[in-house]
Amino acid sequence: MNINGSCFCKKIAFKGEVDPDKCFACHCEDCQIFSGAPYRGVVQCEKTNLNIKGKPKEYIKIGSSGSRRIQSFCEKCGTHLFASGIDKTLFNIRIGCIEQRNKLIPKKHIFASSAHNWIHTIKECEWYATTPNSKKIKI
Ligand SMILES: [Zn+2]
Ligand SMILES: [Zn+2]
């Protein structure tokens, strides 16, 4: 499927072709810290199927296994865009910055061992359409 996206301030944009089955959510502690969120959703994209406009800032993370991963983000607005190995052949694009995000459904949840212990209760919580004072809705 064809995708396109950008960071929040639009300085960095990209287009690509992905297999929606290669979409997963990562609950590792590094993803929790980088995002400030409970987990990060990604879809994989080969370098040959990805076209990036603009130059993201890169931070090289050393994983617990010792592997080095490039974390690419917009230096202006801070949006997390994608991660790759040092060879930049396969990119894990953050689904939140892809326009077609609602069609990219994680098929696997990885690093479940470090997932927040409330993650399974999310459906039973109270859900509001927008702000905490807005209409209560069912999801
Ligand atoms: Zn930006
Ligand atoms: Zn992770």
Label residue 64 exposed, middle or buried (CB < 10 Å: 0-12, 13-18, 19+): exposed
16-37 pLDDT per residue, tens: 999 999 999 999 999 999 999 9
Report the separation in Å between the CA atom of 77 and the middle of ligand 2, taken as the mean of its atom positions: 21
| Predicted structure pTM score | 0.93
Report the separation in Å between the CA atom of 57 and the middle of ligand 1, taken as the mean of its atom positions: 10
Measured from the alpha carbon of residue 11, the closest ligand is 1
Report the separation in Å between the CA atom of 84 and the middle of ligand 1, taken as the mean of its atom positions: 19
pLDDT of residue 139: 87
Report the separation in Å between the CA atom of 81 and the middle of ligand 1, taken as the mean of its atom positions: 9
Report the separation in Å between the CA atom of 7 and the middle of ligand 1, taken as the mean of its atom positions: 4
Confidence check: pLDDT of 137 > 90? yes
Report the separation in Å between the CA atom of 80 and the middle of ligand 2, taken as the mean of its atom positions: 13
Average pLDDT (120-129) is 93
Beta-carbon contacts of residue 134 (< 8 Å; ≥ 6 apart): 128
80-109 pLDDT per residue, tens: 999 999 999 999 999 999 999 999 999 999
Distance, CA of 38 to CA of 66 (rounded, Å): 23
**What's the pLDDT band for 64 if we cut at 50, 70, 90?**
confident
Contact present, 45 and 54 (Cβ < 8 Å): no
Distance, CA of 99 to CA of 112 (rounded, Å): 27
pLDDT of residue 103: 97
Mean pLDDT, rounded, of the chain: 96
Report the separation in Å between the CA atom of 93 and the middle of ligand 2, taken as the mean of its atom positions: 12
Domains of the chain, start order: 2-137 (2.170.150.70)
Measured from the alpha carbon of residue 79, the closest ligand is 1
